[in-house]
Structure 1
């Protein structure tokens, strides 16, 4: 069983926020660049961390990159 079989599917907002985080954007940067409310960004990142079974945002970005999920 591969890692992709063991994780829940990430949604478009979760992937977008992870991609921005991978490029060094802060949550405030993400809010300014996307006009998405901070609450939604926080929720998307927390959900992505949980779905990727990561302990923090850096680990979630690393796992998403290893799975080739980031654009």
Structure 2
């Protein structure tokens, strides 16, 4: 499953999850990366779907558990 997710999760999804794991909010991520709030929201929704997570916290947990983010 991890190999499939590595191919499926894109760089933006991984970056947003990694930043959120470090305590950054969506607004913080927007300010730090200059990526629009809508694209960040889309990245979280897509990552949650791919990781079969019900919320961002669960997506972060699953991604960290699979060593996709640190």
Query: Under a length normalisation based on structure 2, what TM-score does the superposition of the two structures give?
Result: 0.91
Name the structure where helix makes up a greater proportion of residues. Answer: 2
Structure 2 residue aligned with 1:57: 56
Comparing 37-46 with 5-14, greater Cα deviation is found at 5-14
Q: Hey, what's the Cα distance between the residues in 2 that align with 1:28 and 1:22?
A: 14
4+ runs deviating over 3 angstroms:
5-8
Aligned Cα root-mean-square deviation (Å): 1.4
Q: Structure 1: give runs of 5+ residues left out of the alignment.
A: none
Which ranges of structure 2 fall in alignment gaps of 5 or more residues? none
TM-score with structure 1 setting the length? 0.90
| CA shift for structure 1 position 9 | 1.4
Partners of 2:31 and 2:3 lie apart in 1 by 34
CA distance in 1, matches of 2:64, 2:15: 12
Rg: which structure is higher?
1
